[in-house]
Amino acid sequence: MPPELLHYRALGGVTGGPWRGVKAIARTGVLLLARRKFFWILYAFSLMIFLFYFFGQYLWVFLASHVQDALIRTGGVFGRLISPEALIKSLRDTMHLDGSAETFGDFIWTEGYIAVVILAFAGSVLVGNDFQHNSLPFYLSKPISRRHYIFGKCLAIAMLINCLTTIPAIGLFVEYGFIETWDYYYDNFGLFLGILAYGGAITISMSLLLLTTATWLRRTVPLVMVWTAIFVMARLVQRWLVDGIGLSPRWRLIDFWNDLYLFGMWCFGKDHRWLRPTNQEQPEYWEAAAAIVTVCLLCLLYLRRRVRAVEIIS
Amino acid sequence: MNAPSDPDEVVLEFEAVSKWYGPVIGLNQVSLKLQGGITGLVGSNGAGKSTLLRLATGQLKPSIGRVLVRGEDAWTWRAKALVGYCPDNDAFYEDMTGRDFVRAMARLCGFGAADANHRTEEVLARVTMTDRADRQLRGYSKGMRQRIKLAQALLNDPRLLVLDEPLSGIDPIGRQEMLELFRGLAAEGKCLLVSSHELEELEKLTDHVAILARGRIAALGTVSRIRDLLDDQPLSIRIDADDPRRLATMLLSRPDIVGVDFPTPQTLIVRARNPRRFFEDFNELATDETLRITRLEPLDDSTHAILGYLLGGSGKT
């Protein structure tokens, strides 16, 4: 067919720079993941956790403002009257639905586990397949560099993590201010910054960790196994080492998720002595931060080597 | 926006480029200048074709030397914005539709959403895939995949179009359409560098070829020009005659004949060093002597044979 009949014309527009390509990589990655059912199933779990906190906070404030002096009779053979204030205090201390540092810390901690599972399964879709199926030439022949490719993939992972952790946590912060008083925002602005810092730490470290493990392992099953080792086995091992055979609490640093939690509590300004569970000795905050930085640096070093090698394997 | 095409402008330039993969050399001191038009790239497996293409598209950085696209270092994104690359492998995101894939590549080129959509439709129309672009890539035939790959290479209206085995897997009618398309792009002043193992197809497309051998450019130019350069290389000619042994005796007295062979009783294969002088002498011989010649056929009047010469007999592709 003659070209003139094919409605093709020479390009008359102006293309953006490589950073626009970064956005495109991230967008493509997220859309690829959004096509998978497992992602939506896990996302539904994450949403349930958010809704629990969302309505839990509302319920707690509602109870605290409406139940004043009346006594509540508990059921059962040994039923007895208890003070509602004691009940509310118990609920607050157990579930931390009071817009405090623990609320956001616990929320991000819990949501983070969903994020970890999603990322373990998403690693091969987002990154591994590019290496496995040798589709990097499509990316690297476009007006971007390897650095932009890594940024784009990290951005996709960051979008996922923040949709599950930081953004809902900010939503809870905003909600609590609405249902209590506006002063909450002014009095607890540090918590807002803490959410951003904790979310930022999770975003950066998990993005680098996923990119590193996905470029290393490429396929889903090995990736899930390694992530299980990092986030489940390491936790069991540190408990056995510290609580079981009485080694130094510094051994808890091998639990990367715990390191992130400690760092988050540091960002929230929480006193080290009141960390949950209170009967566990924990390493110092700065030690946890140093462990996170070390992991990030190791990941960057590996990625630097790996991406330089892309030209050989691609 | 890419500047209007100037056919005399050097689009791709290799300046004494070498590329090592650890201790292995992929490309060895290659110097090359390409302007508008179509250049075929041929060479045996391991000759360095893929390395050369990846250097040209900025996917590899040369160990020594420079690769320039219109004066820009090919490694930079500005140079890549002038280049379209159609790789030989077709590892796509299989659950994407063809349209989505091309659109994603358009965004990667730096187009905004509206421009990306517009440009996607234009290139899909150009490769005649508009009506099939909403199917998932996993359901595409090899030929359709080639068209989609070509479409994504055309997105940025590249000045240099690098095509790695673009005709592989395409049916004959489709091939003809693609060849027309390539000729049309070349007529617009674009520079096309086409790597192919389909040497006959490549010769239909262009007679300007670069021959790679063991990491070096063994020859660059038109097939006939390369042939001229081969005057000092033995040329094989098949001659069918009623008395080939007598003919061989007469030919062997000539200084340019380096050997003869008798594959069948009526056939003689002559290897001549200077082909043009040989044919002049042979005309005189055939008219002077009482010889009955029934067939005279150069056995290497194609790129295949040139490869054979240049690669020392290992030019099979």
pLDDT of residue B315: 46
pLDDT of residue B199: 62
Q: In what order do the strands lie in the sheet containing B293-298?
A: B257-261, B267-272, B235-241, B293-298
Local structure of A83: helix, strand or coil: coil
Q: Which residues of A touch B96 (CB under 8 A)?
A: 32
Q: Which residues of A touch B2 (CB under 8 A)?
A: 10-11
What parts of chain B have a pLDDT lower than 50? 1, 313-317
Taking CA B306 as the corner, what is the angle to CA B303 and CA B308, rounded to the nearest 5 degrees? 110
* Residue B21 to chain A, least CA–CA distance (Å): 7
Pick the closest to residue B101 from B56, B170, B147 (CA basis): B147
Mark yes or no for CB contact B107/A27 under 8 Å: yes
Residue B11 one-letter amino acid: V
Local structure of A140: helix, strand or coil: helix
Mark yes or no for CB contact B89/A134 under 8 Å: yes
Q: Which residues of A fall below an 8 Å CB-CB distance to B? A: 1-3, 6-18, 20-21, 23-25, 27-28, 32, 35, 129, 133-135, 137-145, 148, 311-312, 314
Q: Which residues of A touch B112 (CB under 8 A)?
A: 16, 20
End-to-end CA distance of chain B: 39
* Residue B104 to chain A, least CA–CA distance (Å): 7
pLDDT of residue A281: 83
- Selecting from A3, A134, A141 the residue whose C-beta is nearest the C-beta of B181 gives A3
Ramachandran quadrant class, A34 (left: phi over 0; alpha: psi -120 to 50; beta: rest): alpha
Local structure of B145: helix, strand or coil: helix
Test the A interface: residue of B86, B97, B108, B137 with most A CBs within 10 Å: B108
Q: How far is CA A289 from the centre of its chain?
A: 16
* Residue B249 to chain A, least CA–CA distance (Å): 55
Rounded CA gap, B71 and A294, in Å? 42
Test the A interface: residue of B61, B63, B88, B93 with most A CBs within 10 Å: B93
pLDDT of residue B196: 78
Rounded CA gap, A293 and A297, in Å? 6
Contacts of B212 (CB under 8 A, 6+ apart): B41, B42, B43, B47, B48, B49, B52, B218
pLDDT of residue A1: 43
Mark yes or no for CB contact B59/A135 under 8 Å: no
Helical ranges in B170-243 per DSSP H: 172-187, 199-205, 223-229
- Selecting from B80, B119, B126 the residue whose C-beta is nearest the C-beta of A6 gives B126
Q: Which residues of B touch A11 (CB under 8 A)?
A: 1-2, 119, 156-157
Q: Which residues of B touch A311 (CB under 8 A)?
A: 54, 59-61
Query: What is the mean pLDDT for each group of 10 consecutive residues in chain A (314 residues)?
Result: 46 69 90 88 93 85 68 64 70 77 88 89 83 81 87 92 93 89 88 94 93 87 90 91 89 92 90 67 91 95 74 44
Local structure of B17: helix, strand or coil: strand
Mark yes or no for CB contact A10/B2 under 8 Å: yes
Q: Which residues of B touch A126 (CB under 8 A)?
A: none
Q: Which residues of B touch A10 (CB under 8 A)?
A: 2, 157, 188
Nearest-Å Rg of the Cα atoms of chain B is 23
Domain ranges of chain A: 22-35+98-308
- Selecting from A9, A10, A140 the residue whose C-beta is nearest the C-beta of B59 gives A140
Q: Which residues of A touch B1 (CB under 8 A)?
A: 11-14
pLDDT of residue B317: 40
pLDDT of residue A313: 42
Which chain B residue's Cα is nearest to A20? B110
Nearest-Å Rg of the Cα atoms of chain A is 24
pLDDT of residue B121: 94
Mark yes or no for CB contact B110/A9 under 8 Å: no
